[in-house]
Structure 1
Amino acid sequence: MKKIILMLSILLASCTKDFQEINTDPNGTPVALPQQLLAPALVSTLTYNMLRNRNFNNELMQVTVDPSDAEGKVFRYDYRATWADYLYNGWYSELTNFKDIYKIASQDLNYNKSYMGISLICQSWIYSMLTDTYGDVPYFQSNLAKDSSIYEPRFDKQKDIYLDIFKKLEEANTLLSVGTVISGSDPVYGGNVQKWRKFGNSLYLRLLLRLSGKAEVSDSCIAKIKEIAETNAANYPIIASNDESAILRWTGVGPYSSPYLSVREQDFRAPGLGSFFIDHLAAWNDPRIDIPTYGTNNINRWGIAPYSGTFQGIPSGYAPGENPVKKSYFYSNTSASSLMTEPLTGMMMNYAELKFILAEAAVKGWVSGSAETYYNDGALNSITQWIPTWPVNIKTFLSAADIEWIESETPDQKMEKIHLQKYYALFLTDMEQWFEYRRTGHPVLPQGSGLKNNGVMPARMTYPVYVQSTNPTNYKIAVAAQGPDEISTQVWWQKP
């Protein structure tokens, strides 16, 4: 035994001797630069978002139905604890990269101030998704194991997280008022710092709206919405066209290949489309599923395969044993028109979403301007994001589809109308459809007899099981404060 220990000691000494000198590039820097970290962090974050959007958000929100009587089917609200780890681990991993961008960039304020602003926007984006998915999460002490040896971070209250996110977005707006970034390092805006600034302020509006119904912060949130959108708009530029939407457009070259290509083709087309999702589009004669005019290879813009010449879906939440026939589905083909190779699937936030945010604010009297105009603009840009040359007048389209704006309708009817269109604008955007449904209850989704969780939409994901053993004290404090670690426990902004 002594000989074995001695040999191991020698081997370890040999392996570590001159390790730093041997493994340092003499022609480069031992520290990654912001322009080297940004693109990989964005690609990785969107990979997590897109894959869980596909198999979790879309199943909850009746975009798709993965038909089976097996246990653990999300479309039945049959949640399994194993769903928790992927986003939690992935998002925190990328937060380390974005925080490194800020830290390294802060050492060169003349050139890298813009990278600091972009980092703050991306941190705000990820933290908002984390807290909206899980509730109270580590925030102020997160990602500090390397620098501060904090291995068991406390869980912070969602209210405190949101208020600090707002501070980050304020700082980003100031940092990005001037400056530049290397175009090749930025796969979202190609180095256009002002477009990043507009995204940051548009994200700010999204998150302010999310808290606007919470009594203890509603007044300040509503006032800030009005300031950004109206009274101080010059100092808070926001997304102003589809070209300014925050989208990482997949080119298929190098690292910019869609994460959907990692899904086997037979798995990608396995879920059928939900009736709720496809029936509206079919009834409206929506151009995004119109084959003859806009399609290629007999597949439409969203890569939806017809069924017997029409578009039909599966009712979501059906009871075990009913076994409905799969009909329309998302086509899978890596060499033809399908979402697997679609450049626009790297969705972070689009112009149409912003218009629907303003439409809701106008209905509630928080901003001036016509709610009808915002609504029409949102519906138009939701379509032209995908079909820029669409020739139809939006009012004509909405009237023919019987979804035109009617000023005499009740506020709740107007909310349903706005959020039904917003539902389609949020297609492919991480978990936003789920977040907005939890906030508003719109659009109203049909409920099948096979739903679990008492037929109530899950309010959150549970924490990963390993957190209970790796951070037990803070886990217990969080559960005691927020409520049981169950999918039925509402997060702070959902609670009355």
Structure 2
Amino acid sequence: MKTYFKIITVLMLALATLSSCKHGFVELNTDPNGTPNALPQQLLAPALVNTVSTNMLRNRNFNNELMQVTVDPGDGEGKVFRYDIKRTWADYTWNNWYTQLTNFKDIYNVASQPLTYSKTYMGISLICQSWVYAMLTDTYGDVPYSQSNMGKEGNFTPIFDQQKDIYLDIFKKLETADTLLIGAGNVSASSDPVYNGNAAKWRQFGNSLYLRLLMRLSGKAEISATCIAKIKEIVDTNPGAYPIMNSNADAAILRWTGVGALTSPFIGGVREQDFRAVGITEFFINNLSRWADPRLTPGNRFSIATYQGSFVGVPSGYSPGQILAIKSYFLSTTSATTLMNEPLMGNIMNYSELQFILAEAAAKGWIAGDARTYYNNGTLSGITLWVPAFNTPIETYLAAADISWSNTATLDQKMELIHAQKYYSMFGTDFEQWFEYRRTGHPVLPKGAGLVNNGIMPARLYYPVYVQSSNPDNYKAAVASQGADEISTQVWWQKP
């Protein structure tokens, strides 16, 4: 029995402590896509599909509960909408993200070899690695980075790099990716379910992702000036060297076609009755109703059921013991387009989010652009992504909704305007709503009496429990450096 345990432990660590025995261990550690003989064009699509699928499933049952999109009613333990986070929540994203990092790294390694050399696949790999590592460190804090995914090299106990060092190296990866993709040729369309092999669009996404991550660190005192200067360089002083998204057509979205592997993870992964068993919150639905937002119109693509003829939400964070009836909910039929098979739910980063990043930068005086224009563009593109036929002038829509930009508003009021709209532009997108709320405190969410964790939004997820036994020395070093392995411990960029 002791021998068996040692074997399992070694195998788990082979992919940077990827999985516990009861979470698909054999499948994770014999990943058919990550073989040494696979080519980049064989690895990219499965890695993208599996990463986005992981993000969608956890967005639905974790991010949406924390960020008052939905409420999974009940009085049992582990109700995320009350900030009651079980330690087992940590495993799923940790395991799957690190698994796909093996594939993304293999793409780079194979594409850098003489016989299979491809600057395009190398650049795409670095962008995808940056995207996944950013999600890991924003979720957990200090994580294995410089030594992760090195089981083939015999390193089964990777160190946990500090978040600052991870971010600085991510920035280097994105700079390298931008350089590699200058004039790079397109690759096989069938290998790339996001951009159909278009190298220029990958370059635009990489630099837009760069802006997202620079903004995330912009409030950290020791690095703020550097981040702000880089944002200005990308947007103002050297935009030709850093092309970014120009429209919804440039959005990084893995669009589900319903054919083969490009079938939404909600199909088969979530039962229809479970999909509609969570209520939409008052916060989420009341804003859309008050604004007369076209995404809420019956028959449009948010696919929300009415309750007694109206859109009615339920409160989040309510106290245990209350009887709560679900009212409006997301429709779940697969016989028509609902969120269960909606192509746009494979969102990685869209043009609307980018416009709100620029609106914030302009409102703070970091770039020369007009904050009102960026805000208006962000709101309009957020709507037209889902409702292409929307043709009301955006100023007319904003005035009727009483959410027009005002240059005389306070900075905090401007941030609330921007981030309320950004919240909806990031609908369905991994943990981005949660990350941005932790960074900014916007949009302001109502707090119910049933919240635990002192009513404070969780700042991170726990490390997987099995990491404590499989990599104890480096786990302890990480905790000593970062702080207690608790959801209340802030990650580096959250601290002043």
- CA distance change for structure 1 residues 166 and 450 in 2, over 3 Å: closer, same or farther? same
State the SS of the aligned residue for 2:206.
helix
Question: Are 1:179 and 2:185 counterparts?
Answer: yes
Of the three residues 187, 198, 202, the one matched with 1:192 is: 198
Distance of 1:237 and 1:391 partners within structure 2: 28
**Counterpart residue number, 1:252:** 258
**Counterpart residue number, 2:23:** none
Tell me by how many angstroms 1:284 deviates: 0.9
Moved more, 483-492 or 382-391: 382-391
Q: Deviations over 1:281-312 (max 9, x none)?
A: 01111100112xxx2xxxx3111111111101
Tell me by how many angstroms 1:179 deviates: 2.2
Matches within 5 A, 1:441-456: 441-456=441-456
Tell me by how many angstroms 1:391 deviates: 1.4
Q: Deviations over 1:335-378 (max 9, x none)?
A: 11210010111000000000000000001100011100000000
Amino acid at match of 2:174: L
Distance of 1:391 and 1:355 partners within structure 2: 19
The answer to whether the Cα contact below 8 Å between 1:181 and 1:192 also exists between their aligned partners in 2 is yes
The answer to whether the Cα contact below 8 Å between 1:111 and 1:180 also exists between their aligned partners in 2 is no
Q: Deviations over 1:220-256 (max 9, x none)?
A: 1000000001110001000100010000000000100
Tell me by how many angstroms 1:322 deviates: 1.7
Tell me by how many angstroms 1:186 deviates: 0.7
State the SS of the aligned residue for 1:304.
coil
What are structure 1's unaligned runs of at least 5 residues? 1-28
Question: Are 1:164 and 2:159 counterparts?
Answer: no
TM score, norm. by length of structure 2:
0.92
When the two chains are superposed, the root-mean-square deviation of aligned CA atoms in Å is 1.0
State the SS of the aligned residue for 2:318.
coil
Tell me by how many angstroms 1:324 deviates: 2.3
Matches within 5 A, 1:194-209: 194-209=200-215
**Counterpart residue number, 2:3:** none
Question: Are 1:119 and 2:125 counterparts?
Answer: yes
The answer to whether the Cα contact below 8 Å between 1:359 and 1:375 also exists between their aligned partners in 2 is yes
State the SS of the aligned residue for 1:81.
coil
Matches within 5 A, 1:3-82: 31-82=37-88
**Counterpart residue number, 1:274:** 281
Distance of 1:91 and 1:149 partners within structure 2: 20
The answer to whether the Cα contact below 8 Å between 2:110 and 2:117 also exists between their aligned partners in 1 is no
State the SS of the aligned residue for 2:88.
helix
State the SS of the aligned residue for 2:315.
coil
Question: Are 1:93 and 2:99 counterparts?
Answer: yes
**Counterpart residue number, 1:18:** none
Amino acid at match of 1:149: G
Of the three residues 263, 267, 270, the one matched with 2:270 is: 263
The answer to whether the Cα contact below 8 Å between 1:287 and 1:383 also exists between their aligned partners in 2 is yes
Divergent runs of 4+, >6 A: none
The answer to whether the Cα contact below 8 Å between 1:206 and 1:357 also exists between their aligned partners in 2 is yes
**Counterpart residue number, 1:9:** none
State the SS of the aligned residue for 2:49.
helix
**Counterpart residue number, 2:492:** 492
Distance of 2:241 and 2:116 partners within structure 1: 22
Distance of 2:162 and 2:274 partners within structure 1: 38
Amino acid at match of 2:231: I
Tell me by how many angstroms 1:323 deviates: 1.7
Tell me by how many angstroms 1:109 deviates: 7.8
Matches within 5 A, 1:147-162: 148-162=153-167
Tell me by how many angstroms 1:32 deviates: 0.6
Distance of 2:128 and 2:207 partners within structure 1: 12
Query: Over alpha carbons, which structure has the higher Rg?
Result: 1
The answer to whether the Cα contact below 8 Å between 1:111 and 1:179 also exists between their aligned partners in 2 is no
Identity of aligned residues (%): 69
Amino acid at match of 1:268: F
**Counterpart residue number, 1:325:** 325
Q: Deviations over 1:254-280 (max 9, x none)?
A: 100001112000111110001100000
Tell me by how many angstroms 1:111 deviates: 5.0
Tell me by how many angstroms 1:110 deviates: 7.9
Amino acid at match of 1:183: A
Distance of 1:204 and 1:126 partners within structure 2: 13
